[in-house]
C-alpha cells in the first residue's frame, strides 16, 4: 500500500485593492450580478463573472426554482451562457461573489461540486487553465486552475 498526498495551492488577498485591475473589475461584475439572482428559497444570492480571451465579460447568477433541483448555480449560468454565445472564445477567468441577509459572505464563496465539474469541462474544451477568483469580506482567494479545486477528477482521459 502506498499513501499519497495531493497538494493544492491558492493565493489569498486581504482586499480587492491588492488585485490587479482586470481581476478587481471581474469581482465587481460578480458582485453586481449577485443583485439579480433569483434566490427566494435560500436567500443566498450568488453572482458570477466570466472573462473571455477577447476581453468580454459574461455574468450570471443563481436561478432557483420551487422544484429545487430545477434551479442552477451562478457559475454554471455564466459559464453556459459564455460557452453558448461565444463558443470560439476561450474562458480565462471566473469570479464568484455572494451575499445573504447579513450582507456579503465573510468566507470566500467556493463553487459546488457540480460547478467544479463544469469548470473542468470548460478548461478541457478550450485547453486552458481558468483563474478562479473567490470573493469574501475576510479575504479573496485566487485559484489557478480547477486541478486545485477538483483533484482526482473524472475527466476526458477517464473515458
Ligand atoms: N449556489 C451558487 O449559485 N453557487 C455556489 O457556488 C454555491 C451555491 C446557489 C445554489 C442555491 O441557489 C443557493 O446558492 C444556495 O445553495
Over the stretch 107-122, which tens digit does the pLDDT of each residue have?
Answer: 999 999 999 999 999 9
Q: Which of 129, 117, 128, 115 is nearest to 153 (CA)?
A: 117
The residues assigned a catalytic role are 75
What does the pLDDT look like over 35-88, one tens digit per residue? 999 999 999 999 999 999 999 999 999 999 999 999 999 999 999 999 999 999
Contacts of 68 (CB under 8 A, 6+ apart): 41
HEC secondary structure over 63-75: ECCCCHHHCECHH
User: Which of the listed residues 33, 42, 49 should we mutate to test ligand 1's pocket, taking the one with most ligand atoms within 8 A of CB?
Assistant: 42
Q: Which atom of ligand 1 is nearest to 42's Cα? A: 15
Percent of the chain with pLDDT over 90: 100
Percent of the chain with pLDDT over 70: 100
| pTM listed for this prediction | 0.97
Q: How far apart are CA 21 and CA 57, in angstroms?
A: 14
Amino acid at each position: 500500500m502506498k499513501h499519497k498526498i495531493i497538494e493544492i495551492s491558492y493565493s489569498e488577498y486581504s482586499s480587492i485593492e491588492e488585485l490587479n485591475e482586470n481581476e478587481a473589475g471581474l469581482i465587481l461584475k460578480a458582485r453586481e450580478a449577485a443583485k439579480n439572482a433569483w434566490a427566494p428559497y435560500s436567500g443566498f444570492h450568488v453572482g458570477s463573472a466570466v472573462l473571455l480571451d477577447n476581453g468580454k465579460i459574461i455574468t450570471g447568477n443563481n436561478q432557483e426554482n420551487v422544484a429545487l433541483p430545477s434551479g442552477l448555480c451562478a457559475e454554471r449560468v455564466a459559464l453556459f451562457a459564455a460557452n453558448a454565445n461565444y463558443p470560439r472564445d476561450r474562458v480565462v477567468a471566473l469570479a464568484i461573489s455572494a451575499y445573504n441577509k447579513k450582507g456579503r459572505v465573510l468566507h470566500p464563496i467556493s463553487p459546488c461540486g457540480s460547478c467544479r465539474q463544469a469548470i473542468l469541462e470548460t478548461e478541457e474544451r478550450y485547453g486552458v487553465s481558468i483563474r478562479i477568483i473567490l470573493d469574501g469580506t475576510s479575504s479573496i482567494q485566487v485559484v489557478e486552475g480547477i486541478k486545485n479545486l477538483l483533484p482526482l477528477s473524472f475527466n476526458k482521459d477517464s473515458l
